[in-house]
Chains A and B, each alone.
Chain A
Amino acid sequence: MQLARPRAAAIASVRIPAAVTWRSLAPTYALAALATLAVALFAISWGTVQIAPQTTASIIIGHLPFVSTGTHSATTDAIIWQVRLPRVLLAGLVGATLGLSGAAYQGVFRNPLAEPYLIGVASGAAVGATLIIISPLYVAAWIFSPMPPAAFAGALIAVVLAYGLARTAGRVGATSLILSGVAVSSMCTSLVTYLMLTYNTRTLAILNWLLGGFNTASWAKIAIAAPYMAIGSLLILPFGRLLNVMQLEEDDARQLGVDVERMKLVVLALASLATAAAVSVSGLIGFVGLIVPHAVRMVWGPDYRRLLPLSGFFGASFLILADVVARSINPGYEVPIGVVTALVGAPFFLYLLHRQNGAMPEHA
């Protein structure tokens, strides 16, 4: 059927209710990027040695090739370039990854409570990473560390397992997937605990890594994980429009031409790759993938073309700030960042659960 072809004049005269296109989103992205940069600049300047933001900016810019911004004291330069910048950058990258992949998981599972930690991905990645720590392959300083690939393998196995267990008659229901994700997750957690207690020479290394944090951040760690996080996150972005369609009933999405099962697998694989790389350099940091997409949704609505990138930007800002809190609550002693995010995230999770049970039982 041809719906009476709209003539050129008719097309020009359409007054469209603000349709979302990549171009119309550009200003929003630019603002969010600027806000994230401002947060990062603040976090780099903040610490036991306070540095003026303009000095910070000038030192960082001075390190770029072909730019000279005069001389700065060697100590300040070292604090900024060797300590704080890698730390803030890594926190930002991990936060962006967790925020964006959290939004992607929620979209694929049509479940607002889906999160890398709830569906077994992060725990699966932890098993992979732990196996590397106890193996002779564990050399902290390697650029091509085996940690991210091993974590990715663990994450994929966990997600495939959760997916396979939830699959009945060729379909994967949202509820059964969450349930099997929780089962797989606790299986992985007990495996990690077992490994940690059995290989007692590495117990402390595993525990330190599990608690998570950015106090050991370095340029090397960024180099290890950033490529995987960038590839996974950036390749998810084009799926925003289809994720919107996936929010319909699954049959409806199929009948609109979306290959639902294949798309689930592709998005899950990408999100798991990014999450696994984040886990392998920062340990288990919960709730970022849950809170950030929800906060974005409350302000900018449910369109995934906005939700995915904005969750990335605000995930970065959130984790950078959480790290600032973690290192400044108690000078001389750092609170694990997972504690900070859980303190903010757990009450928020309970609030969402409460609201969901009241408002939309069909999505539970």
Chain B
Amino acid sequence: MLSIRRLCVSYGAHQVLRDVDLSVAQSEIVALIGPNGCGKTTLLRAITGVAAIRGGAIAIDGDDVQSMRPSTIARRVAVVPQAAALPGGFTAFEVALMGRTPHLRLLQSESRRDLAIVQAAMERADCWDLRQRPVDELSGGERQRIVIARALTQEPELLLLDEPTSHLDPRHQVEAFRLLRELCQERQLAVVAVVHDLTLAALFADRIAMLSGGRIVASGAPGDVLSEEIVEHVYGLPVRVLAHPESGLPVVVPDGGITRRGAERRALLATP
């Protein structure tokens, strides 16, 4: 489905991504993790042809992204951006309807079929009730669902999400991931999601790719990537990795340093 080979991207003299290799199959969910500024968002931008590529290649079903027109890419790849800013005054329905853009010609208006597709997408993303509401009145979670509906309206084969749950409370976080998991199975959707919460990434994704300093430093099943050594090395943070009681998947927690007792122990160790 998606295949990235030896991808290099730079902004001016600053090289953001070096020799990134990544492939994602149909119906597969890959979580992209890594510290702030390691190039995760740039990688998503490169996949949609928005960030210019310095070297390497990105192919979707064997077609080179570099040689595709923006509308062709948008018919196959949809993006749920991080905390999307939505234009004031438009209703939720109108914003979701913008997902049909790559399917319409300049003079074409949306047909009833387009409208039905939007309705199906909004129902699936659980936001059909919000259709008449102006987007500037909606909460973060509601806006997130509208943007997911807009992405589904594009009818993509590949869905990219940039920290889809960073503004959501725990219940909405889990619900968003559950929805993505279901969509992935129903529609053979390939999903790449930037996720900050390592535990949620492990529960949600089939595979985890860890970026650091513009390179993929680890990639594979959650249990292989999320070891105490790798996480501490990449994030510079001492952690404990436990096993999830039901699935046995890794649960990553910080070590005791931020507890009262841990802090007291450190203070003791620090005094000579």
Binding site for B on A (CB under 8 A): 1-4, 6, 10-12, 14, 16-17, 19-23, 169-170, 238-239, 241-242, 244-245, 247-249, 251-252, 254-259, 297, 301-303, 360, 362
Contact = CB atoms under 8 A, between A and B. Distances in A.
A255 B48 contact: yes
Interface in B8-36: 11-12
B94 A303 contact: yes
Nearest to A246: B87
A47 B48 CA distance: 61
Interface residues on B, range: 35 or more
Nearest to A7: B116
A42 to B, nearest CB: 32
B109 interface: yes
Interface string B110-152: 1011011101110010000001100000000000000000001
Nearest to B131: A17
A245 B116 contact: no
Contacts of A11: 112-113, 116
Contacts of A257: 69-75, 101-102
Given A14-B116, A19-B115, A248-B85, A259 B91 contact: no
Contacts, number: 127
Contacts of B124: 3
B157 A1 contact: yes
Given A17-B131, A249-B81, A303-B90, 20 more contacts: A1-B155, A1-B156, A1-B187, A2-B187, A3-B117, A3-B155, A10-B116, A11-B112, A19-B94, A169-B11, A245-B98, A248-B86, A249-B84, A255-B48, A255-B81, A257-B70, A257-B71, A257-B75, A301-B90, A302-B90
B20 to A, nearest CB: 19
15 contacts: A2-B155, A6-B113, A14-B116, A17-B93, A19-B93, A19-B97, A20-B94, A247-B90, A257-B72, A258-B70, A259-B69, A259-B71, A302-B87, A302-B90, A303-B94
Nearest to B105: A238
A6 B131 CA distance: 19
B45 interface: yes
A242 B229 CA distance: 49
B52 A170 contact: yes
B48 A254 contact: yes
A112 to B, nearest CB: 10
Contacts of B90: 244, 247, 301-303
Q: Which 10 A-B pairs have the closest CB atoms?
A: A257-B74, A257-B102, A257-B71, A247-B87, A302-B89, A6-B116, A21-B109, A1-B187, A255-B79, A256-B101
A295 to B, nearest CB: 14
A242 B101 contact: yes
B98 A14 contact: no
A14 B115 contact: yes
A251 B162 CA distance: 13
A4 to B, nearest CB: 6
B107 interface: yes
B87 A248 contact: yes
B179 interface: no
Interface string B33-69: 0000000000001001110100000000000000001
A170 B49 CA distance: 14
B109 A22 contact: yes
- Name the residue in B11, B70, B153 with the highest tally of chain A Cβ atoms < 10 Å from its Cβ: B70
B201 to A, nearest CB: 23
Contact of A256 (B93, B102, B115): B102
A21 B74 contact: no
Nearest to B136: A360
Contacts of B236: none
A245 B74 CA distance: 13
A247 B156 CA distance: 22
B88 interface: yes
Contacts of B188: 1
Contact of B104 (A241, A249, A252): A241
Contact of A249 (B48, B49, B52, B85): B85
Given A1-B155, A169-B12, A259-B69, A301 B89 contact: yes
A302 B91 CA distance: 10
A15 to B, nearest CB: 9
A257 B77 CA distance: 10
B99 interface: yes
B5 to A, nearest CB: 22
A26 to B, nearest CB: 12
B98 A256 contact: yes
Contacts of B186: 4
A3 B72 CA distance: 17
Interface in B150-193: 152-157, 186-189
B115 A16 contact: yes
Contacts of A4: 120, 186
A242 B106 CA distance: 8
A256 B101 CA distance: 6
Nearest to A6: B116
